[in-house]
Chain A
Amino acid sequence: MSTQAHAADHHDHDHKPGFVKRWLFSTNHKDIGTLYLIFAMVGGTIGGFLSMGIRAELAEPGMQIFSNPHMFNVFSTAHGLIMIFFMIMPSLFGGFGNWFVPLMIGAPDMAFPRLNNVSFWLMPPALTLLIISLFVEGPSGMNGAGVGWTVYPPHSTSGHPGPAVDFAILALHLAGASSILSSINFITTIFNMRTPGMTLHKMPLFVWSMLVTAFLLLLAMPVLAGAITMLLTDRNFGTTFFDPAGGGDPVLFQHLFWFFGHPEVYVIILPGFGIVSQVISTFSKKPVFGYLPMAYAMVAIGAVGFVVWAHHMYTAGLSLDTQAYFLAATMVIAVPTGIKIFSWIATMWGGSVRFPTPMLFAIGFIVLFTLGGVTGVVLANPGIDRAFHDTVYVVAHFHYTMSIGALFTLFSGWYYWFPKMTGYMYNETLGKIHFWMLFIGVNVTFFPQHFSGMAGMARRQADYPDALAGWNMISTIGAWISIAAMAVFFFAMALAFVRKQKAGDNPWGVGATTLEWTVSSPPAFHAFEKLPKVK
């Protein structure tokens, strides 16, 4: 990288191109990160609106806002797909990843800046296709794809003759291609562009988390692409991969989907693990307890994550031995997961701990995630899962882990890096109000779903027995509290941009030891023209 020194020669080099060139043809990792974050806010707003539709329908027994149950399923399908592919992934992986991986390893930019631009600009068309799918015919005479985020055939083939499912599949193709390209970019950047002295075993845990996530995406996404391409040709070109009439088997789709799907849930949470590690270390003024075990626990979670997929298929007719294997393998994942939780707690233990908003969200995440992990271990038992599968108990499990769990890491990272990205300080009181309202809101929403799930409340159904009205009313109240919390969030952000209170290069003090805190806030358009030294 000898050209680096040359670029630093003329020291007035921090120039930004004009608007169109800067944002549409952006090759700058921080600008692309910003684009991802804005995109994720748009996705999150649409996804949040859809979830309010779900809660409004489930507010009382009987049909409320939808004229037929299919529409309810269309809403929950779009809610799931948008939150996963167009909110959590673009923010944690695309947004924070692009912003902070190069900064944290002292690289001037990503390895393939133009590819980076392509990765981002695949996303808006993908979201557009998914939104179009809501308005075109799915089942005959009805609009939208009501197939669930898992898109199982035969409901997604013979059950949806209209083009809605095709649009949804193409949306996933584009989003998947985007993730694969970003992953290639991140891995190459992390392998090749670390500043001298930044060995793999000195990399911040956030960078480790991004490395493992990128590998998971690289290995899992093509399998999803394969599976949904088969689905597409089954639907349109007469192939019979999943159609028994031609010798195919719909259960094969489930295997392929979950071979992607389980690693995917870790794609969603691993960057959050990284963020929480940085935040807890910063506000405990201590390095993370057990750095290497923490890094390799993520590697282990990633690796074992590829051999547990059929725990989603206990009711699909697996043999006894197969169920026993998947039970055991699934339980094994709880071990590295437990290591991480203990290390976070041990990091705080004996540290001089402060509780600004990012730290509150990090600790809130640990509480939520531990709860979700426990229900996961319950569901790992085929005997129990036979009863709980496809009830809202599972919905509670995965919201505690990957939905609100990941959301809390997202807010933790957002408040932590907001001063770095914008140069402004947010209002700490509003941040704390946001945290407490959201923490209460999501728990009031999802905790009762353990009970209603155990009492037999099915997921993906628009109606339920009167006996379950009480739990559902509580969930609906929780959803309103969460919406109010989000209003506080947007107000706090608007206020920060109005007040423009300067944050300084490192607002968090000596605990913040990673390289991004050594550059200005916001960082120069081209930070690290001269490579920083790491001892």
Chain B
Amino acid sequence: MSSPDPHSANSPQQASDARLQQKPARHGLVGLTLAGLVVSMLGLSYAAVPLYKMFCQVTGYAGTTQRAKAAPLKASKELITVRFDANVSRDLDWQFKPAQRSITLKIGEEKLAFYEATNTSDKPITGTATFNVTPAIAGSYFNKIACFCFTEQTLEPGETVQMPVSFFIDPDILTDSDSKDVKEITLSYTFFVVKNQKTTQIKKSNANGSL
């Protein structure tokens, strides 16, 4: 793009080499510091993966439910309805449905619900379920004591199993101004095929959860 060089050829190398050499040490220092910044941002992006999971579990973000050892001793008189929803990933040859459409219970009271899964294929398959509740705000008040979703489930060809989940709604839901008007919560599960079936295969005896 530049016009032809008006000057005569003398020693082109010298000028540009001088330029390359005149690199004070502080160039290297600034450059390395900036490179360090790049590496730490890259590290942070990976650190975001566990941090994000922790964040969702602690805050009930996006309807992530909580885990608890036991229900509170005193239940409230208020009633709430829990509806049950079931989905199966396209790649998984299972039928999966809730055994009951909904349960109405006292807030704070522990209840047991069942899902039913059938392996419709001709080989054993291990699946794992993800879950959440809507409205999302209810996530931090929805406590599971035991759930088939805590472990992977293996079904033999044609086998049908009942899968239990025991849960309660934390009475604190009534004191949070964002959630006190919630009268109905939908608990939803989606079953996926576990990748690398061989390595993660678990004993069938585990399949009924730890109830």
**Are B1 and A10 in contact, CB atoms less than 8 angstroms apart?**
no
How far, in angstroms, from A422 to B4 measured CA to CA in the complex? 11
- One of B16, B41, B45, B196 near A27 (C-beta < 8 A): B16
Chain B residues whose C-beta falls within 8 Å of the C-beta of A191 in the assembled complex: 30
**Are B5 and A16 in contact, CB atoms less than 8 angstroms apart?**
yes
**Are B5 and A14 in contact, CB atoms less than 8 angstroms apart?**
yes
Return the chain B residue nearest A318 by Cβ: B62
**Binary CB contact string for chain B from 162 to 190 against chain A (1 if under 8 A, 0 otherwise):** 00000000000000001000000000001
**Residue B211 is within 8 A (CB to CB) of chain A in the complex:** no
**Residue A114 is within 8 A (CB to CB) of chain B in the complex:** yes
**Are A184 and B49 in contact, CB atoms less than 8 angstroms apart?**
no
- One of A4, A17, A244 near B190 (C-beta < 8 A): A244
Chain A residues whose C-beta falls within 8 Å of the C-beta of B41 in the assembled complex: 218-223, 226
**Are B195 and A13 in contact, CB atoms less than 8 angstroms apart?**
no
- One of B20, B42, B62, B196 near A113 (C-beta < 8 A): B20
Chain A residues whose C-beta falls within 8 Å of the C-beta of B62 in the assembled complex: 251, 317-319
- One of A6, A114, A221, A249 near B18 (C-beta < 8 A): A6
**Residue B205 is within 8 A (CB to CB) of chain A in the complex:** no
Return the chain B residue nearest A38 by Cβ: B1
Chain B residues whose C-beta falls within 8 Å of the C-beta of A47 in the assembled complex: none
Segment of A66-74, A104-112, A432-440 engaged in the interface with chain B: A104-112
**Are B15 and A526 in contact, CB atoms less than 8 angstroms apart?**
yes
**Residue B161 is within 8 A (CB to CB) of chain A in the complex:** no
**Are A111 and B137 in contact, CB atoms less than 8 angstroms apart?**
no
**Are A15 and B18 in contact, CB atoms less than 8 angstroms apart?**
no
Given that A244-B190, A529-B15 are known contacts, is A188 also in contact with B31, CB under 8 Å in the complex?
yes
Secondary structure of the B side of the interface? helix
Within 8 A of B (CB), among A2-23: 3-4, 6-7, 10, 12-17
* Least CB distance, B70 to chain A, in whole angstroms: 26
Given that A13-B15, A317-B63 are known contacts, is A255 also in contact with B48, CB under 8 Å in the complex?
yes
**Binary CB contact string for chain B from 124 to 139 against chain A (1 if under 8 A, 0 otherwise):** 0000101000001100
- One of B1, B13, B16, B38 near A218 (C-beta < 8 A): B38
**Are B27 and A188 in contact, CB atoms less than 8 angstroms apart?**
yes
**Residue B34 is within 8 A (CB to CB) of chain A in the complex:** yes
Return the chain B residue nearest A317 by Cβ: B62
Chain B residues whose C-beta falls within 8 Å of the C-beta of A222 in the assembled complex: 38-39, 41-42, 45
**Residue A77 is within 8 A (CB to CB) of chain B in the complex:** no
Given that A17-B12, A255-B48, A317-B136 are known contacts, is A245 also in contact with B89, CB under 8 Å in the complex?
yes
Within 8 A of B (CB), among A220-237: 220-223, 225-227, 230
Return the chain B residue nearest A249 by Cβ: B52
**Are A245 and B37 in contact, CB atoms less than 8 angstroms apart?**
no
**Are A7 and B27 in contact, CB atoms less than 8 angstroms apart?**
no
* Least CB distance, A309 to chain B, in whole angstroms: 12
**Binary CB contact string for chain A from 235 to 273 against chain B (1 if under 8 A, 0 otherwise):** 000101101111101011001100000000000000000
**Are A188 and B14 in contact, CB atoms less than 8 angstroms apart?**
no
Return the chain B residue nearest A33 by Cβ: B1
The count of chain B contact residues (Cβ–Cβ below 8 Å) is 56
A34, A245, A247, A422 — most chain B CB neighbours (10 Å): A245
- One of B19, B48, B53, B195 near A526 (C-beta < 8 A): B19
**Residue A525 is within 8 A (CB to CB) of chain B in the complex:** yes
* Least CB distance, A274 to chain B, in whole angstroms: 20
**Residue A320 is within 8 A (CB to CB) of chain B in the complex:** yes
**Are A28 and B52 in contact, CB atoms less than 8 angstroms apart?**
no
Within 8 A of B (CB), among A142-197: 180, 183-184, 187-188, 191-192
**Residue A421 is within 8 A (CB to CB) of chain B in the complex:** yes
**Are A10 and B10 in contact, CB atoms less than 8 angstroms apart?**
yes
**Residue B9 is within 8 A (CB to CB) of chain A in the complex:** yes
B31, B45, B56, B192 — most chain A CB neighbours (10 Å): B45
**Are A12 and B34 in contact, CB atoms less than 8 angstroms apart?**
no
Chain A residues whose C-beta falls within 8 Å of the C-beta of B44 in the assembled complex: 223, 226
Chain B residues whose C-beta falls within 8 Å of the C-beta of A244 in the assembled complex: 130, 190, 192
How far, in angstroms, from A505 to B173 measured CA to CA in the complex? 74
Chain B residues whose C-beta falls within 8 Å of the C-beta of A255 in the assembled complex: 48, 52
A37, A191, A246 — most chain B CB neighbours (10 Å): A246
**Binary CB contact string for chain B from 23 to 57 against chain A (1 if under 8 A, 0 otherwise):** 11011001100110111011011101100110010
**Residue A498 is within 8 A (CB to CB) of chain B in the complex:** no
Chain B residues whose C-beta falls within 8 Å of the C-beta of A113 in the assembled complex: 19-20
How far, in angstroms, from A269 to B136 measured CA to CA in the complex? 36
**Residue B203 is within 8 A (CB to CB) of chain A in the complex:** no
How far, in angstroms, from A20 to B3 measured CA to CA in the complex? 17
**Residue A90 is within 8 A (CB to CB) of chain B in the complex:** no
How far, in angstroms, from A223 to B41 measured CA to CA in the complex? 6
How far, in angstroms, from A13 to B12 measured CA to CA in the complex? 7
* Least CB distance, A140 to chain B, in whole angstroms: 13
Given that A34-B1, A111-B23 are known contacts, is A256 also in contact with B37, CB under 8 Å in the complex?
no
Given that A15-B7, A222-B41, A256-B45 are known contacts, is A422 also in contact with B31, CB under 8 Å in the complex?
no
**Residue A423 is within 8 A (CB to CB) of chain B in the complex:** yes
How far, in angstroms, from A300 to B191 measured CA to CA in the complex? 46
Return the chain B residue nearest A14 by Cβ: B7
Chain A residues whose C-beta falls within 8 Å of the C-beta of B10 in the assembled complex: 10, 12-13, 15
**Are B30 and A188 in contact, CB atoms less than 8 angstroms apart?**
yes
- Write 29 A-B pairs (CB below 8 A) sorted by A numbering: A3-B22, A7-B14, A10-B11, A12-B7, A13-B15, A14-B15, A15-B11, A108-B19, A111-B30, A188-B30, A188-B31, A192-B26, A192-B27, A222-B38, A222-B42, A223-B41, A226-B41, A226-B42, A226-B44, A226-B48, A230-B49, A245-B195, A246-B194, A249-B52, A252-B52, A255-B52, A256-B45, A317-B136, A422-B3
| Shortest 7 CB-CB contacts between residues of A and residues of B | A226-B45, A15-B12, A245-B192, A222-B41, A222-B42, A3-B22, A522-B2
Having A113-B20, A244-B190, one finds 17 other A-B pairs with CB under 8 Å, namely A7-B14, A13-B14, A14-B7, A30-B2, A109-B19, A180-B38, A184-B31, A192-B30, A222-B38, A222-B45, A223-B45, A238-B195, A249-B53, A252-B48, A319-B61, A421-B2, A522-B1
